[in-house]
Amino acid sequence: MNEMLLVVMLAGRRAVIPAVVVNSVIELGEVTPVPRTAPHIAGLAALRSRPLTLIDCALSLGLDREPTDCRTCRAVVVEHEGHLYGLMVEAADDIVAALAEPGPLGADPGPGWSRVASARIETEAGALPCLDIAALIAGPEEALAA
Amino acid sequence: MDDLLAEFVAETREMLGALAGEIVAWEANPDDRARLDTIFRFVHTVKGNCGFFDFPQLEALSHAAEDALADVRAGHRRADSRLVDAVLAVIDRIGVMIGEIERGEPLSEATDDVLIAALAGELDDGAISQIGSVRHSPVTPAAEQRTIRLPVDLIDQVMSGVSEMVLARNDLARRMQSLGADTGLEAPFARLSALIAEVRDAITRTRMRRIEGLFSTFPRLVRDLSAELGKQVFVEIENGEVELDREMIELIRDPLLHIIRNAVDHGIEAPAERLAAGKREAGMLTISARQSGNTIHIGIMDDGRGIDVDKLAAKAIAAGTHTPEQIVAMSREEKIDLIYEPGLSTAETVTAISGRGVGMDVVRANIEKFGGTLEIESLPGEGTRFLICVPLTLSILPSLTVEAGGQTFAVPRSYVEEIVSTAGGNLEFAQIGERRYLTFRDRRLACISLGEALRLERNDDPTLFVILRLGWGDLYALEVDRIFDHHELVIKPLSPGIMKSGLFVGCTQLDDGTPVLVLDVAAIGYGAGLPRELHRPSAITAHAAPRAEREGLRVILFRALDGERRAIAMSVVEQVERAGAAAVRRPGPDAQIVLGEDILPLAGVPADVELPERITVLRLCEGGERIAYAASEVIDIATLDGVLKRVNGQTHVVGVTLIDGETAELVDCHALFASQAAHTPGHGTLTCRLDGDETWMRNFLGPIIEAAGYRIVDEGPADVAFVEGDIGDKDECEARKAIRLRSAPGPADGPDSIYRYDRAALMAALLRAGQELAA
């Protein structure tokens, strides 16, 4: 059985997240901003009674962009180290099957991507980078500190 | 019954139940080592537990059994049938005693001495058979309080399920509101709400216990310790109302005791040394608890000599753990942290109280083991403060919701001292550079704009201030734009990315499901530049001239609820604590206050003054009588040396004197206790027996007699007996005084006979009898 992957649109590029780690994909309602925190943490939302920390993935890439609009984006809900996170991406519609095992990235995929992409996977929709959820959550500052 | 006692009874019962099978097996085969061990463990546990409570009989018995069994275990003695019989008799007897303890009865007199002698193997066969009869005497088991043990995980799971139910109910309520009236769902919804509330209360109670139970043992501990060491230590306990997971209370008990012992032993100096240092003679130990999100902050602060870092450093070098070069490079904070090095102690000599080789390293390790932290701050000559933070899993936090910069935040209510507004028009401000100060009860409090602290908008014309009290008594005023409401909020942990800012302790949801951040008010205060000073109410007097040679009356200076400065003799003040206004009954001359499990008369409450939300209570104690005195705050400890001017028309005030240039009224302790004593004459030392129509006497007469200070006995000799007219003289000889009652009004048929509804004559007779007996 080939691994199923969720295709997301991030900073105008396609990438995949392994479907097994995805809790759900939701549209966001009211978002509570969190003052004085890292820029890529967009705020808090609630998934039933659990708090959902929203990660603006485009800012987490370290790209100099406008914050993603909460009303038009999709949030991919994942659980990481006991906390729920909503990864904000521009679109998350397709599920595709992997055609091969993940392989090395190859040439430098460009600023930001080299940190958040962990591997390259051949899929039914072509070759796509696989996102590293921990790196997305940590954001660009963490990478600088490390 | 006391919680602890109930637990002791339940635990012992549980062990007895489990032991029943073992006993039979042991009886059949006394050489069975495993059974012997089980029984030994049982008596050992019982002995250990009753040392904690005051059951000397039970302790003696279990101790004797433990000794005998220890001999058998060590091979010094064989478990012959006599010993087995004796041990089994002891176990049965423990069961009977536990029943009596549970019912609150005094422990019955029994053949305990015989049992103990039998255990020691000093009895002949005749006595042994007597034991047999003791053993098989019928024991009627009391209605047991049924208990089971549950894994904490399971309770956690139920608890979080209940939290979800509360949110689902709130959601439902909101949707029903939008449907408009008359949906026909109101009644079932109300029922559902009530049920959920009930379940939530019950499940919360299973885990939570007030920290007061633990704190209330400290004043006594400190008193004994300081007496032993020849020191004077005054204990202030604050906010014992914080509730904590009962497991957590057990876990923090030992670390707290250790720190308190250290503070009294090493921290606080001897009186002479204190006076020489310009401090007041009695040291001050403040123990406080605050709830903040999922954390309980427990502060222990003394105003002693502080940690001698140089001595610590020297010891570290001597012990070879650090090189002199390393020490030189260390900051003072790093040197203080040396206290955590195993085997280092600043005490010159090892005393019986602390310094027995259990160091701060062990204390800290024990606290960290359950996810807590320990911080130490110390200033030489000024004192030391320990801050223990322990997690409180799954807490329901009473909070205040406020708005700043257009966003809603929650503030844990345990920090909120008061809310003040400029709307009243009588707030006084001062401006030091960019910092605004608010005058609050004679103290200038720094104002911190919540909007600015969070890098939102700063409101330049703030009107609302939340006065916050941090763990150490540091106060500051938080400027907010709006104040919404009090809520009981379920706190959820935040992801590490958000926690990194250090400004929030958790997150919660309002009724409509919106997430709201819970503020870490301490971090905001200190982050905005609030100085981390050791808060000492007597800071001013510390600079004043030493008062060693003064021989005046030591008093506690406080501000009464009516705003007057008053002083009260320090010797009568047992404890100072803070209480909510809700604990006060009937403000006015007959006011009472509920403190822990006591109901005390409360003096110092004017009838026409509205009580503040929280008051300071001085617990006064003299000759076994206790009175509480209400105050708004304790100002200082002082020595009376001025002239006392009498004032007329003031009740409970002896006179007025000058302390530090300001007038203060000296409370008349004699009048206070005298008025109290008038209500309880006799102290229940005299006994009274009721002979006659039992129901009437018990129900009608009993309460009056008890209120008059008599203890009612069922039979046997008594000091006073009430006798109904038609009962003969035969009982009278058993009472020192008899009061005869008759059921018909009209002329008396005897010299000492009173109509039973002639209340005045009854009371007079009772009083006369009491006076004659006392003479």
pLDDT above 70 coverage of chain B, percent = 82
The mean per-residue pLDDT over the stretch B704-732 comes to: 69
- Could you give the CA distance from residue B400 to residue B412 in angstroms, rounded to a whole number? 6
φ/ψ bin of B107: left (φ > 0), alpha (ψ from -120 to 50), beta (otherwise): beta
* CATH code for the domain defined by B3-136: 1.20.120.160
Give residue A75's pLDDT: 93
CB B697 within 8 A of CB B722: yes
Residue range B683-774 forms a domain whose CATH class is alpha beta
Number of C-alpha atoms within 13 angstroms, CB side, residue B142?
17
Residue with tokens 């991507």: A113
What's the CATH number where A104 sits?
A: 2.40.50.180
CB B410 within 8 A of CB B401: yes
CB B86 within 8 A of CB B115: yes
Higher-pLDDT residue of B681 and A30 is A30
Which residue range forms the structural domain that includes residue A26? 4-145
Whether the pLDDT of residue A78 is over 90: the answer is: yes
Whether the pLDDT of residue B139 is over 80: the answer is: no
- Chain B residues whose beta carbon lies within 8 Å of the beta carbon of residue A46: 509, 513-515
The mean per-residue pLDDT over the stretch B440-464 comes to: 86
Give residue B258's pLDDT: 87
The mean per-residue pLDDT over the stretch B76-94 comes to: 79
CB B145 within 8 A of CB B9: yes
CA distance A146 to chain B (A): 15
- Chain B residues whose beta carbon lies within 8 Å of the beta carbon of residue A50: 492
Over residues B3-58, the pLDDT tens digits come to 677 777 877 887 777 776 777 777 777 777 777 888 888 888 887 777 667 777 88
Q: How far is CA B60 from the centre of its chain?
A: 30
Phi and psi, residue B151, nearest 5°: -65, 140
- Chain B residues whose beta carbon lies within 8 Å of the beta carbon of residue A85: 495
- Chain A residues whose beta carbon lies within 8 Å of the beta carbon of residue B490: 49
- Chain B residues whose beta carbon lies within 8 Å of the beta carbon of residue A28: none
A83 → closest Cβ in B455, B495, B509: B495
- Please give the full DSSP string across chain A, using - where no structure is assigned: -PPEEEEEEETTEEEEEEGGGEEEEEE----B--TTS-TTEEEEEEETTEEEEEEEHHHHTT---PPPPTTT-EEEEEEETTEEEEEEESEEEEEEEBSS--B---S---TTHHHHEEEEEEETTEEEEEE-HHHHHHHHHHHHH-
Average pLDDT, chain B: 76
Question: Given the DSSP bridges, would you call strands B565-569 and B662-667 parallel, antiparallel or unpaired?
Answer: parallel
Count the domains in chain A. 1
- Could you give the CA distance from residue A118 to residue A105 in angstroms, rounded to a whole number? 7
B455 → closest Cβ in A35, A38, A44: A35
Over residues B540-599, the pLDDT tens digits come to 333 333 333 345 677 888 888 888 888 888 777 777 777 777 777 776 667 778 776 677
Q: Is B139 helix (H, G, I), strand (E, B) or coil?
A: coil
Give residue B1's pLDDT: 52
B497 → closest Cβ in A35, A36, A38: A38
- Could you give the CA distance from residue B627 to residue B680 in angstroms, rounded to a whole number? 13
The mean per-residue pLDDT over the stretch B447-471 comes to: 85
CA angle B602, B415, B451 (to 5 degrees): 145
- Could you give the CA distance from residue B760 to residue A84 in angstroms, rounded to a whole number? 75
CA distance B362 to chain A (A): 30
Residue B374, class by beta-carbon neighbours within 10 Å (0-12 exposed, 13-18 middle, 19+ buried)? buried
Worst-scoring range by mean pLDDT, A121-125, B294-298, B725-729? B725-729
Superfamily of domain B212-308+346-391: Histidine kinase-like ATPase, C-terminal domain (3.30.565.10)
Taking CA–CA distances from B404, the nearest residue in chain A reads: A35
Superfamily of domain B396-527: CheA-289, Domain 4 (2.40.50.180)
Query: Of A142, A143, A136, nearest to A10 (Cα)?
Result: A136
- Chain A residues whose beta carbon lies within 8 Å of the beta carbon of residue B496: 81, 83
Stated as kind and residue range, the H or E segment containing B665 is strand B662-667
Do B498 and A53 count as a contact with CB atoms less than 8 A apart? Answer: yes
- Chain B residues whose beta carbon lies within 8 Å of the beta carbon of residue A38: 497, 500
B516 vs A: CB within 8 A: yes
- Could you give the CA distance from residue B516 to residue B402 in angstroms, rounded to a whole number? 10
The most confident of B98-107, B176-185, B451-460, by mean pLDDT? B451-460
Residue with tokens 């206004």: B581
Do A37 and B494 count as a contact with CB atoms less than 8 A apart? Answer: no
A50 vs B: CB within 8 A: yes
ipTM of the complex: 0.89
How many residues does the structure list for chain B?
775
Number of C-alpha atoms within 13 angstroms, CB side, residue B311?
11
Q: Which CATH number fits domain B550-679: 2.60.450.10, 2.40.50.180, 3.30.499.10, 3.30.460.20?
A: 2.40.50.180
Whether the pLDDT of residue B191 is over 70: the answer is: yes
Give which of B495, B504, B512, B520 to mutate to test A binding, by max A Cβ within 10 Å. B495
Q: Is B432 helix (H, G, I), strand (E, B) or coil?
A: strand
- Chain A residues whose beta carbon lies within 8 Å of the beta carbon of residue B455: 35-36
The mean per-residue pLDDT over the stretch B405-429 comes to: 84
pLDDT above 70 coverage of chain A, percent = 95
- Could you give the CA distance from residue A30 to residue B513 in angstroms, rounded to a whole number? 10
Tell me the pLDDT band of A105, cut-offs 50, 70 and 90. Answer: confident
Roughly what angle, to the nearest 10 degrees, separates helices B81-102 and B3-28? 160
CB A52 within 8 A of CB A75: yes
B516 → closest Cβ in A32, A38, A85: A32
Taking CA–CA distances from A85, the nearest residue in chain B reads: B495
Tell me the pLDDT band of B249, cut-offs 50, 70 and 90. Answer: confident
How many C-beta atoms lie closer than 10 Å to residue B236's C-beta? 19
Give which of A37, A54, A81 to mutate to test B binding, by max B Cβ within 10 Å. A37
Do B500 and A81 count as a contact with CB atoms less than 8 A apart? Answer: no
CB within 8 Å of B246: residues ≥ 6 apart? B207, B208, B209
The token pair that represents B485 in the structure block: 């409401």
DSSP secondary-structure letter at B727?
Answer: S
- Could you give the CA distance from residue B537 to residue B553 in angstroms, rounded to a whole number? 20
The token pair that represents A77 in the structure block: 């809900």
The mean per-residue pLDDT over the stretch B73-81 comes to: 77
Give residue B544's pLDDT: 35
